[in-house]
Structure 1
């Protein structure tokens, strides 16, 4: 009898097990735009037979579990897109598919959609500044704004010149795209800030992986995409007005953006945007920094036309700025230089003024873009983009007499870019891009400066061909890509009245492999292994003189080799109802890393005494991790934390490289009163930065001490009729702490900025 019972129990167990297996199937999927392969968050999925469904997450993924074998009808809906209805036959395996939704023209009133999509689709780590975060960053330059993203810091020359740093790399190793066009200025200079107005952006995205395959050389450290919003395609006028004022530097900033569509021509839209900015001398806690004012005036305009198969866009932007360079960074003789470095601050307290005197910079940048696309069929789209840029940089030194108004460095750079590529998407979950791009560049020294040019005239031509393919199946994505580049550089200049010419050529093959997996509805993992390269820039090869804006003598090496790197980035991301976090770890091995090293020598001339730097090359290994997280304690109270740690080792000498960010962490608590769209939000934060203990063998002064800053932020949002008003109050360095940032090249001469109170008004109508 016992044996019979055991057999019956065993058979029942098998039946239950079989039943559990049969009804443990799943329908997984990903919903993206047919137009551009970008994910669609918030799409609604409904299974009619079980009267249940799901909503896609920020990456467009969805999962429906515990389904038995059978026939199911799946319906996918998203505002402004054509519905998708499909019959699915579930057998013994779960179902995976990528769905591509097509836009549909709908006239809807009184509906406001709040959402976000990444500006670029990649398996590499992507972070973005948008919405409320971008609102709080308004009025700051690009480098300062992006410090809100973990793993991104800035390399600055004083307070007004700032360059983004991603995982320890900056300048020519970071590519910046202005509305899809690679920004080409004199970005090789450490004190050459990006010529871009952050007010034109609706979203600023940072890609932290090696993106040479996707974007070409100079993207080995990462990519920053400054993207305006989509153009309207029907008559629906919107205007954004920003008015900002700050106490430190007595800064005033005005920006206005207006966009609308045509009532008569469906698909036609335009946007115009402009901003002006003025600030005087910056104040450290105990004194003014002489000649640190700035003046800026910018403009951009876009017109576009979009139909079912054809789209075209014309874009123009103008950037113009005048920047003062700290007077105390230019000293008269060796003893003065040694004295101010030892003193650590200017000998006089200075005074406030809006006047900008020599030394200073005047920079203008014009960018013109024409882009079109054509849908060959439902699966293939052809794209063409042409970009033209004209950059004019003038740097003024302290001089006597009539020469005082003549630039010591006068450079004109003209760049033409052409991108031809096709995108394809298919129902079998494959998508990809094949393309070719061409960059032609000419740089000239404008004669009449009376000074030997820092860099020679040159012509550069770069041609690259690439392919990328992505396979998407439910929660899983895998992506591969490869690229080949060939570059020629022809240089010429006079040295001691003799013409020196040199022709150089470089070529390289790069590739990457990446994957993304949604482990659960709340947990995702991405990994990306990519090779990258960067040919040496002309300044690294041929600099032989005083770089006025940097207040330093720089010496190049014409025999430098191309940098070649292999970077591996891994990110684990969790997004729950109350808690979210992101952890990114990376390792970057760079062969023949080029760096600017202080020699310990000084150069004495009639124009002053300056430190001497030289470009050297060594194998490097950079590694570290970024982290960020937040927790919602109640409907009103929340907290966040973010930070980064990076190590950069010189493998040739077993020492450390200069100008690598030190360990840092930022944490804060926020309290919010009211409902969305009509609320008060108070935030108190604490920024902690450690002393950089991993210094190079020689530096002009020891790394400064670590510091802690307390900041306060208040944001009030409320409606005015059908319009919207945002009022912000920010207090940076609340306790007026004296500190020096290791990544500031002027830390030898002055403290950083003191307390700064900023009032921001934003009216949307």
Structure 2
């Protein structure tokens, strides 16, 4: 879990970059504006992104299609590493990222109030102002909140110079109302997001290219918590509209590729009262996604799919043991429309899946515990996997789908040792994830005569991912804190006997933090020195490329100062303090562009 303080400390333009600090989690980036979470080597449709528990559909089958979620407004970001299909269904085969905002306030037992928070920051690395204003209030059981975030950025600066056409702009607004009483609680949330993201092309091939994307996302969530005796129901209804437009040049208003999806979600969960010491959830979930296309280019046919799932998840405490078990059944029906240009005829496809998990935590002795999890996950093939038949500019390939693809299924095992003491908190874990029917693009050796791109056939095989993660935090003294993490993932296509592409190399991070007196006139002063070391990836797919390994140094400091009746916090960060030249292995620009150089971030925040 990334706490509220950690979310703001690592706040970035993309969700992937914000959570990149967690062990086992990386950022698959297209510049600074597009960042997709990578969990244990898996991303896109294998990592499910949620906003307050609501599934986010953002055409994530595209490498350059990032999730439209504002991490800067989150109270916390929850990350599940490993399959979580029992609770979330398809696509959670690699893990889950849930961006959670603060609960709505209420004034039960106190007077009505109105307050809020304001945060502003500026980054020198791309001349990016960034700010969030939140206003909230309550009267008895009624509460409301409104929030607005805006940021704009110029071209990214690297140690070798600026990356032409790499800026962006984001506007995000949300409003929510709710009521809490003896009958339960209910809430309504609406958010709107607009992004404009410039794409930096290889200057050796297209030196003056100015492609960009415009993405708009609207999200509505209606929820209720209803007591039923000692049990209670959670009901969540959601709607999302995601409209993506891609343009080939700055001056053009002609949409090259247009994608529109509408998603409807339903989740009903009964949290039942313990029965002989066993408590848990019984739930049903429904999903409908309808897809339309527009613009000059076409890549996949118009389609819609409907899904339904039923699941049970139970937990029990037995002495030193905490045991959990879960099971789920899912049904999905895909309806595809005629598309003469792609050579697709109208057809239907159905998919079924049974998933489950077993978990055990054994408290060896305070403060040590052993944790074992076994899980089965799945992912249904997307319309892109099944029916794509054309040039995909995002991957610079001609990609050809296969309508006979089956569900991906996985068996995952995790084993970890946890220590939670007063001075030391640590976790060391290993994992193995075996995936059957793993979907991947296979080079055909043929060239599309019109585009000149190589043709890749979407096919299936088996894959295996193994690795470890560790995190240690040592509070050496009230003023001195040490933290370190390390993670490694090894991915192998066992059918082709070749490494999987885009598997991040070994990484280690380390931080020393000094904290001052919290009660002095200068409150909560701190200073930290940290860094990260990334190895060079030596296990490469035949189509892949690996930059050199590198080490970066980061500095940070800050304090809070009373100003009248308010407390104003000032934080400074210096990222890549020595202006190191490097390219991250998971950057889609790595063949022709460096990652950002030295970046000073100044952040000011207060509550009112």
**TM-score above 0.5, yes or no:** yes
Residues 499 and 166 (structure 1), Cα distance of their counterparts in 2 relative to 1, 3 Å cut: closer
- State the alpha-carbon separation in 2 of the partners of residues 737 and 659 from structure 1: 23
1:376 and 2:249 equivalent? no
The Cα of 1:202 is off from its aligned counterpart by: 0.4
Partner of 1:422: 270
Alignment of 1:35-434 (within 5 A): 128-234=1-107, 235-262=112-139, 266-328=140-202, 331=205, 358-378=210-230, 380-398=231-249, 404-426=252-274, 428-434=276-282
The Cα of 1:324 is off from its aligned counterpart by: 0.3
Partner of 1:488: 333
Aligned with residue 637 of structure 1, among 458, 473, 480? 480
- State the alpha-carbon separation in 1 of the partners of residues 158 and 529 from structure 2: 22
Query: Once structures 1 and 2 are overlaid, which stretch shifts more, 571-580 or 561-570?
Result: 571-580
- State the alpha-carbon separation in 2 of the partners of residues 206 and 530 from structure 1: 16
Residues 157 and 597 (structure 1), Cα distance of their counterparts in 2 relative to 1, 3 Å cut: farther
Residues 498 and 143 (structure 1), Cα distance of their counterparts in 2 relative to 1, 3 Å cut: closer
Query: Once structures 1 and 2 are overlaid, which stretch shifts more, 493-502 or 516-525?
Result: 493-502
The Cα of 1:722 is off from its aligned counterpart by: 4.0
Aligned with residue 753 of structure 1, among 593, 596, 608? 596
Partner of 1:450: 296
Partner of 1:527: 372
The Cα of 1:603 is off from its aligned counterpart by: 5.3
Higher helix fraction: Structure 1 or Structure 2? 1
Superposed CA RMSD: 2.1
CA contact (8 A) 1:641 1:668 kept: yes
- State the alpha-carbon separation in 2 of the partners of residues 502 and 699 from structure 1: 33
- Radius of gyration: which is bigger? 1
The Cα of 1:135 is off from its aligned counterpart by: 2.4
Partner of 2:6: helix, strand, or coil?
A: helix
- State the alpha-carbon separation in 2 of the partners of residues 454 and 516 from structure 1: 47
Aligned length: 602
CA contact (8 A) 2:156 2:162 kept: yes
* Structure 1 runs (4+) greater than 3 angstroms displaced: 329-332, 496-499, 548-553, 596-605, 608-614, 718-722
Residues 421 and 575 (structure 1), Cα distance of their counterparts in 2 relative to 1, 3 Å cut: closer
Deviations 1:619-643 (A, max 9, x none): 0111111001121222222211101
Partner of 2:64: helix, strand, or coil?
A: coil
- State the alpha-carbon separation in 1 of the partners of residues 604 and 395 from structure 2: 35
Structure 1 residues without counterparts, runs of 5 or longer = 1-127, 333-347, 351-356
CA contact (8 A) 1:541 1:558 kept: yes
Partner of 1:699: 543
Partner of 1:748: helix, strand, or coil?
A: coil
- State the alpha-carbon separation in 1 of the partners of residues 593 and 556 from structure 2: 27
- State the alpha-carbon separation in 2 of the partners of residues 668 and 742 from structure 1: 22
The Cα of 1:473 is off from its aligned counterpart by: 3.8
Partner of 1:51: none
Aligned with residue 594 of structure 1, among 439, 462, 468? 439
The Cα of 1:717 is off from its aligned counterpart by: 2.4
Residues 499 and 526 (structure 1), Cα distance of their counterparts in 2 relative to 1, 3 Å cut: closer
Higher strand fraction: Structure 1 or Structure 2? 2
- State the alpha-carbon separation in 1 of the partners of residues 457 and 573 from structure 2: 41
- State the alpha-carbon separation in 2 of the partners of residues 599 and 496 from structure 1: 21
Aligned with residue 514 of structure 1, among 336, 359, 374? 359
Partner of 1:426: helix, strand, or coil?
A: strand
Deviations 1:84-113 (A, max 9, x none): xxxxxxxxxxxxxxxxxxxxxxxxxxxxxx
Residues 329 and 312 (structure 1), Cα distance of their counterparts in 2 relative to 1, 3 Å cut: farther
Partner of 1:143: helix, strand, or coil?
A: helix
Residues 645 and 159 (structure 1), Cα distance of their counterparts in 2 relative to 1, 3 Å cut: same
Deviations 1:577-617 (A, max 9, x none): 22221112111010011124566776575xx7656544332
Partner of 1:327: helix, strand, or coil?
A: coil
Residues 371 and 176 (structure 1), Cα distance of their counterparts in 2 relative to 1, 3 Å cut: same
- State the alpha-carbon separation in 1 of the partners of residues 443 and 553 from structure 2: 33
